[in-house]
A and B are shown apart, each in its own frame.
Chain A
Amino acid sequence: MSFSLEEVLRRVRRTNYKTMQAWFHESDSLADNLTTLFYRITAGRIPASIIPLLTAGRGVAIPKPSRIGLRPVVVGNIILRFVGTLALVQKSAEITKFILEPKPLQFAVGLAGGCELMGAAIGALLS
């Protein structure tokens, strides 16, 4: 898939966009190479030896509120998270259509305020 970084960034949070806009509008080799890297990751065209570095995560064990047991939390690679988010933002209209048509089934992705919508829908159906 291909996407316009400019267009996608415009749809990400405004504060992020302004920072990134300045970054990518500068025509320099760093920005160019980073953009190329993002495109290559999106297309899956990176050396096999690099993939484990992108998919590895940093694990953190957090005590549960009951103080019995630990809850593992994993911090994913920031580059892969960024590229993944860009791809989903680019496809958000299709994703929303997929999960809401012909009848709404899921509210977790591609929809703002999904939790509130689902709670309101259940309340309305039972009232």
Chain B
Amino acid sequence: MAPCSLEHVVWVDVAADAKNAFNSLCRSQMWDPLLESFPDLAALGRLMYGSASSIIFNESGFGRSEVLNSVGNRQGCSWGSFLYCLTIHPLLKHLADEFPGCVILAIADDVHIIGPPELAAAAYEELLQGELNDSKSKCYSPKISAEAVRGTGMPADVEIATDGTRVLGGPVGSPDYCHSFSVCAGGHRGPRRHQSDVVPSGAALPCGGFSSASG
């Protein structure tokens, strides 16, 4: 990672939101990175993702239905994040090589481009080439006005904030922004859900018998 220095005072952070990233990933893109980098895991990967898998819904009152899943990462798969990261890694490496003046950091489909605004805007345009959801992407510019950042080529639909932003649910920004975030943290996420919201009263627990519902 590039060392923090005075040069960074005019940097911005662009958080890119990919359209249905996990759901839409073509599985054929997984094989080459898997075989090349982790050949020992290829057999298990083929078993997990070599053919379409079933998702079975059995809701009380609606009966049983089956959905075939042949695209993207499978929910409920312990390899979901790993395979997604493996698949997008060449793209991120390419981006980092193309834009050495920026720092590219990602947690799965949450990709951040940090750098000078004109370079960050260009890297953003290059990333996934049109597969980004501009209206959900965000730019945080702590030192430059939103108008100035917009003038560097940042797409019109990308929201630009100058006080702070959320990075993976946590606040990054001015002390005031972080303070207000911590005070209003519950409000940012909407109303808390209770168990009664998840499972209709009187209905059988849909996942009864399973100990985990993590995806």
Is A55 a contact of B40 with CB atoms below 8 Å? no
Partner of B75, one of A76, A84, A104: A76
Is A81 a contact of B170 with CB atoms below 8 Å? no
**Size band of the B side of the interface?**
35 or more
CB contacts between A and B, total, < 8 Å? 197
Q: Taking the nearest CB of chain B, how far is it from the CB of A25, in angstroms?
A: 23
- The docked-state distance in angstroms from the alpha carbon of A127 to that of B96 is 21
Which of chain A's residues has its CB closest to B41's CB? A87
- The docked-state distance in angstroms from the alpha carbon of A107 to that of B59 is 36
Task: Take A55-B53, A60-B207, A74-B74 as given contacts and tell me if A84 and B79 are in contact as well, using a CB distance cutoff of 8 Å.
Answer: yes
Please report the total number of A residues contacting B with Cβ < 8 Å: 60
User: Is B140 on the interface with A (CB-CB < 8 A)?
Assistant: yes
Task: Take A107-B106, A108-B106, A109-B81 as given contacts and tell me if A55 and B93 are in contact as well, using a CB distance cutoff of 8 Å.
Answer: no
- The docked-state distance in angstroms from the alpha carbon of A95 to that of B86 is 9
User: Is A4 on the interface with B (CB-CB < 8 A)?
Assistant: no
Task: Take A115-B170, A122-B172 as given contacts and tell me if A57 and B107 are in contact as well, using a CB distance cutoff of 8 Å.
Answer: no
User: Is B55 on the interface with A (CB-CB < 8 A)?
Assistant: yes
Binds A, one of B43-51, B126-134, B146-154: B43-51
* Contacts from A to B (Cβ < 8 Å): 1, 41-46, 51-52, 54-63, 65-66, 72-78, 80-85, 87-88, 91, 94-95, 98-99, 103-109, 114-116, 118-119, 121-127
List the 10 closest pairs (A to B, CB-CB), nearest first. Answer: A76-B76, A44-B43, A1-B40, A74-B75, A55-B53, A84-B78, A74-B76, A59-B57, A56-B54, A59-B55
